[in-house]
Amino acid sequence: MPSILITGASSGIGEALARALATPATTLHLSGRDQTRLDMVAAACRESGAGVEPVLLDVRDATAMAAWVGGVGKLDLVVANAGISAGTGEAGVEQPGQTRVIFATNVDGVFNTVLPAIEIMSAQPPGADGVRGRIAVIASIAALIATFAAPAYGASKAAVDAWTVASAPKLRRQGINLTSVCPGYIRTPMTARNRFRMPGLMDPERAARIILRGIAAGRVRVTFPWWMGLAARIGDLLPPGPIGGLLARRRVGGVGPEPEREEP
Digit-coded pLDDT (tens) for 4-42: 999 999 999 999 999 999 999 999 999 999 999 999 999
pLDDT at 243 (0 to 100): 60
Which pLDDT belongs to residue 255?
A: 35
- pLDDT score of 150: 83
Report the C-alpha gap between 188 and 206 in whole angstroms. Answer: 12
CA distance 71 to 31: 14
Instruction: Say if pTM beats, i.e. exceeds, 0.75.
Output: yes
Query: Active-site residue 185, yes or no?
Result: no
CA dist list (Å): 262 to 94, 106, 119, 140, 176: 17, 11, 29, 14, 29
CA distance 120 to 116: 6
Give the three-class secondary structure for 44: helix
Query: Would you give the end-to-end CA distance of the chain in angstroms?
Result: 27
Distance CA 243, CA 236 (A): 8
Q: Which of 68, 111, 153, 224 is catalytic?
A: 153
Determine the pLDDT at residue 242. 61
What is the pLDDT at residue 263? 38
* pLDDT of the residue at 262: 41
What is the second-level CATH architecture of the domain 3-250? 3-Layer(aba) Sandwich (3.40)
Flag residues of the chain having pLDDT under 70. Answer: 87-92, 192-195, 241-264
